[in-house]
Amino acid sequence: MKQAKPSWLKRKLPTGPEYEKVRHLLASSKLHTVCQEAKCPNMWECFSKRTSTFMILGRQCTRNCRFCNVTSDIPETLDPTEPLRVAKAAKDLGLKYVVVTSVTRDDLQDGGSAHFAETIQAIRKAVDGVGIEVLIPDFQGDEAALITVLSAQPDVLNHNIETVPSLYATVRPEAIYQRSLDLLKRASQIAPHIPVKSGIMVGLGETHDQLIQTMKDIHAHGCSILTLGQYLQPSRHHLPVTEYYTPETFDSLKETALKIGFANVASAPFVRSSYQAESLSGRCC
């Protein structure tokens, strides 16, 4: 039986001219955002503040995670103009901090890592003093692909663990828990000056002990920034929510994460990987 959403997960959606400006600019630039593709609950808030998370490498993902609303299908041909169009949109929006993520492209030899690097470089040329965070796939464990992205010098390298290891077969059947942990570790070793970030969704069936152990695993593998948010079922075709965590529980999890040793933690029902990313990065006062 489907659980009713609790009161703390009901919010009014802001609208207004700034929201419409961002929506129109993205549509006219033919750019994709994870905000729209993944039905992020913060989309209206972020758009209203003239921010967004750009999603590169097309709209079609080569994997089929059962929590994600991004389409899984035959991928599109890589668009060589995309990095410049993302950079122009970032400039036109007046962004000071840009988050770039992607679908997973297992069909590409380098997983799209060179495209990530080109996008980072294009944004830097277009926007003076900009902060750039990348939320990357696992590149199937390819260290060369990870080095390509890190060599472009993002300000934060993010890769989400998403859930506890016992749920990977159900939630992320084409991903490997240890492979994702190894990516975090390699990133922290290859470029120790670049903060490493990861995120977990809760409410998929994990136990409290499993969740705490996963947080410890992430930290032990070089991650210093953590996000914790409530999983929300995008459609009836996706995994159901098994539990709605209360705001008080999220506060407690944040305290635990800080005790484990994370430098910065965002933990609340509506927190997502790139929500308030600039403040978590340490660039914002």
Position 75 pLDDT exceeds 70:
yes
For residue 1, being part of any structural domain is answered with: no
Residue 60 has what pLDDT?
65
pLDDT digits (tens, 9 = 90+) for 191-220: 999 999 999 999 999 999 999 999 999 999
For residue 193, being part of any structural domain is answered with: yes
Instruction: For residue 86, give the nearest of 101, 106, 75, 73 by alpha carbon.
Output: 101
For residue 25, being part of any structural domain is answered with: yes
Share above pLDDT 90 across residues of the chain, in percent, rounded to a whole number: 54
Instruction: For residue 108, give the nearest of 57, 37, 71, 175 by alpha carbon.
Output: 57
Residue 38 has what pLDDT?
45
For residue 3, being part of any structural domain is answered with: no
Position 251 pLDDT exceeds 70:
yes
Spatial CB neighbours of 33, under 8 Å, sequence gap ≥ 6? 26, 43, 52, 53, 54, 55
For residue 168, being part of any structural domain is answered with: yes
Contact 227, 193 (CB under 8 A): no
Q: Domain range holding 77?
A: 13-281
pLDDT band at residue 93 using 50, 70 and 90 as cut-offs: confident
Residue 6 has what pLDDT?
78
pLDDT band at residue 177 using 50, 70 and 90 as cut-offs: very high
Residue 46 has what pLDDT?
56
Contact 136, 157 (CB under 8 A): yes
Query: What is the pLDDT averaged over residues 91-114?
Result: 88
For residue 7, being part of any structural domain is answered with: no
Q: Which two tokens stand for residue 52?
A: 């967004």
For residue 5, being part of any structural domain is answered with: no
Query: What is the pLDDT averaged over residues 11-30?
Result: 62
The domain tally of the chain equals 1
Instruction: For residue 134, give the nearest of 196, 176, 81 by alpha carbon.
Output: 196
DSSP letters of the chain?
-PPPPPGGG--PPP-SHHHHHHHHHHHHTT-EEHHHHTT-TTHHHHHHTT--EEEES-S-BSS--TT--S-BSSPPPP-TTHHHHHHHHHHHTT-SEEEEEE---TTSTTTTHHHHHHHHHHHHHHSTT-EEEEE---GGG-HHHHHHHHHT--SEEE---BS-GGGHHHH-TT--HHHHHHHHHHHHHH-TTS-EEEEEEE-SS--HHHHHHHHHHHHHTT--EEEEEE---SSTTSPPP-----HHHHHHHHHHHHHHT-SEEEESTT--TTTTHHHHHT---
For residue 4, being part of any structural domain is answered with: no
CATH assignment of the domain containing 167: 3.20.20.70
pTM of the model: 0.86
pLDDT digits (tens, 9 = 90+) for 224-236: 999 999 998 766 7
- Report which residue type is found at 75: P
Q: Is 50 exposed, middle or buried (0-12, 13-18, 19+ CB in 10 A)?
A: middle
Position 47 pLDDT exceeds 60:
no
